[in-house]
Amino acid sequence: MPHSGQMKQLSSALVLLMAVSCGLAIFIFIRLGDIYEKRKLITILLLAVGVALIFLAVAKSLKWVYAASFIVGITTVTPQIIVPLAAELAPPQQRGKTIGSVMSGLLSGILLARTVAGFVGELYNWRVMFGFAASMMFVLAFILHRYLPVSQPKLKLSYMELLRSIGQLIFKERTLRESALIGAFIFGSFSAFWTSLTFFLEGPSYQYGSTFIGLFGLIGVVGAATATVIGRLTDRVSPKRMIGVMSVIVLLSYLTFWQLGTWLWGLIIGVVLLDLGYQGVHVSNQARIYSLLPEAGSRLNTVYMVSSFLGGSIGSACGAVAWSYWGWSGVCAVGGSMALIAFLVWLGHRLLKRNYIVN
């Protein structure tokens, strides 16, 4: 039986492995949404992740846990196909609101999953949780296949031509490059916190069990629920300005964690600020990139989400390392630094544009 230190290292390794595999899957699968019918693609991927979760639930060795976790990560990309589909179906004047609604549901699900997993882990074990998740994927596959509209692709390209076109988009679209870089650092900041939070709450400052730790997902839903409001604002206010404001909110959340994190009320305020700021940056970024070339929504999202998941993987790994060596202050330094870099990217571009260096 591994001791608590080994369990923390194992948890960090699994989080990193699944984040990397998700980034790889985004690069491989999401762009297919521009050349294949999206409803069929979504259904196939949901069935695949359901099967992968079953393999994870019955894994008999650590080697199989790692292998199954990688397969789960590489098949769990359906939300990133649904988001550009929603943006494609929405009227241009309501695109921000639509993206915000979808992202609110996505982040709320992620956070509430922590709460459900905490209760199930306390009452049963992790195998039951993964079995339950597999059944939910099969149910979701049936519902979406039945109710999503058919979305025929507007392009006829080979896979290699599609790949080359992504490179062309990166080269031509400055807004896409800026959004991808900001998204990477903001998601890295977000991931550094949530990867390390369990260690902090189990530590000497709080000494909480898994059930109470899971309840923190309910706190994060407060921030996630604002995504629809943020989406509406991006339809009326410049998404670029929203990104700057929300980046500052993420930075303020880490200042709150650093100064007040050992008090429960301070930690709660920080969580709300972090989720609000992250959601605001993410929705505003996506509203910007989907307005560039609506017919290339899946490829634009590929670039943006690959960058974000790479940033998230780095943030998770750095957060875990910082916790091991410097504790909570180290985690705050990592997350706060990544949020600050995201803000400086945003600010630097505005200053260059103001001085006519950038068109």
Give how far Cα 263 sits from Cα of 36, 205, 221, 254, 334, Å.
51, 9, 20, 14, 20
In this prediction, residue 80 carries a pLDDT of 79
Q: List the chain pLDDT tens, one digit each, 359 residues.
A: 444 455 555 565 666 677 677 767 777 777 777 778 889 989 999 999 999 999 988 988 888 888 888 888 888 888 878 888 887 788 877 777 788 788 778 777 777 776 777 677 677 877 888 899 999 999 999 999 998 988 877 777 777 787 788 888 999 999 999 999 999 999 999 999 988 988 898 888 888 876 676 677 677 677 667 777 777 777 777 888 899 999 999 999 999 999 999 999 999 999 889 988 998 898 899 888 888 887 777 788 888 988 988 898 899 889 989 999 999 999 999 999 999 999 999 998 777 666 554 44
The whole-angstrom separation of Cα 35 and Cα 159 is 9
CB contact at 8 A, 268 and 222:
no
Q: Is the dihedral of CA 93, 98, 103, 108 positive or negative?
A: positive
In this prediction, residue 186 carries a pLDDT of 97
User: Can you give the residue ranges of every domain in the chain?
Assistant: 4-354
The whole-angstrom separation of Cα 223 and Cα 269 is 10
Give how far Cα 44 sits from Cα of 20, 56, 356, Å.
21, 19, 48
CB contact at 8 A, 336 and 250:
no
Query: CATH 1.20.1250.20: does it fit domain 4-354?
Result: yes
Q: Is the dihedral of CA 139, 144, 146, 152 positive or negative?
A: negative
Q: Which alpha helices (H) appear in 203-263, and where do they start and end? A: 210-224, 227-236, 239-260
The whole-angstrom separation of Cα 230 and Cα 237 is 10
- 186-240 pLDDT, tens digit per residue, is 999 999 998 898 889 888 888 887 667 667 767 767 766 777 777 777 777 788 8
The whole-angstrom separation of Cα 86 and Cα 74 is 22
In this prediction, residue 357 carries a pLDDT of 47
For residue 159 the two structure tokens come to: 């896979």
CA-closest candidate to residue 189, choices 287, 67, 277, 69? 277
CB contact at 8 A, 22 and 73:
yes
Give how far Cα 61 sits from Cα of 10, 52, 56, 67, 106, Å.
13, 15, 10, 10, 31
CA-closest candidate to residue 269, choices 257, 259, 277? 257
pTM of the model: 0.77
Computed on alpha carbons and rounded to an integer, the radius of gyration of the chain in Å comes to 20
In this prediction, residue 220 carries a pLDDT of 67
The CB-side HSE value for 64 (13 A sphere, CA atoms) comes to: 10
In this prediction, residue 180 carries a pLDDT of 95
- 97-114 pLDDT, tens digit per residue, is 788 788 778 777 777 776
The CB-side HSE value for 149 (13 A sphere, CA atoms) comes to: 8
Residue 8: how many other CB atoms lie within 10 Å = 18
